[in-house]
Amino acid sequence: MKVVDKIALVLIIIGAINWGLIGIFNFDLVATLFGDMSVISRIVYALVGISGLWGIKLLFDD
């Protein structure tokens, strides 16, 4: 597994945990750590989203 794939997987897991916290406890960990829609929060959300798209590629790798 390439380094980029591992980074994407870690970010996908972070995003999944955050969405789980939002769904179960109505608690947004990213917003709590970095501020509600601050520049850093937006970067984290964007990186998680891009990683999710990269994860589609991981489904089809041999």
Dump the DSSP string for 1-61. --HHHHHHHHHHHHHHHHHHHHHHH---HHHHHH-TT-HHHHHHHHHHHHHHHHHHHHHH-
- Average pLDDT by stretches of 10, the chain with 62 residues: 93 97 97 96 96 93 76
Whether 48 and 11 have beta carbons less than 8 Å apart is answered as yes
Q: Which domain holds residue 53?
A: 3-60
> Rounded to an integer, what distance in angstroms lies between the CA atom of residue 16 and that of residue 22?
10
Q: How many domains does the chain contain in total?
A: 1
Residue at token pair 């589609």: 56
Question: What pTM does this model have?
Answer: 0.88
